[in-house]
Structure 1
Amino acid sequence: MKEIVLSLLAGIIIGIVFKFMKLPLPAPPVLAGVVGIFGVYFGGQIAEWLKSIF
């Protein structure tokens, strides 16, 4: 849980800094991009699970 909170805090700080510097946010601009990131993560988890079975 600590990693999640720290990750969220780091993301908020980075978002604030980028906005003050008038730079585009370094994140997917739409929900589909965020879902894609989750897909990559879960795909990696499935691959690890499959490797442990075979």
Structure 2
Amino acid sequence: MKIILLSLITGAVVGFVFALFKLPIPAPPALPGIMGIIGIYLGYQFYLWIAANILK
């Protein structure tokens, strides 16, 4: 939980600094960006499952 909270705080600080200097946000649009992150996570978990169950 500590890592999640630190990640959220770091992201908020970076977003604030980018807005302060009037720079474009360093992230993709909200929903597509979130779906991309979820896809990466699911692909990683799928590989771990295949490695544990099929590639023994």
Whether the TM-score (by the shorter chain) exceeds 0.5 is yes
Taking structure 2 as the reference length, the TM-score comes to 0.84
d(CA) in 2 for partners of 1:33, 1:15: 15
d(CA) in 2 for partners of 1:11, 1:50: 32
3-state SS of paired residue (1:16)? helix
| Displacement of 1:30 | 3.2
Q: Out of 6-15 and 32-41, give the one that drifted further.
A: 32-41
Structure 2 unaligned blocks of 5 or more: none
Percent of paired sites with the same residue: 48
Structure 1 unaligned blocks of 5 or more: none
- 4+ residue segments displaced more than 2 Å: none
| Displacement of 1:38 | 1.0
Aligned equivalent of 1:48: 48
User: Which residue identity is paired with 1:18?
Assistant: F
In the alignment of these two chains, the number of paired residues is: 54
> CA-atom RMSD, angstroms?
1.0
| Displacement of 1:36 | 1.3
d(CA) in 1 for partners of 2:2, 2:14: 18
d(CA) in 1 for partners of 2:38, 2:3: 16
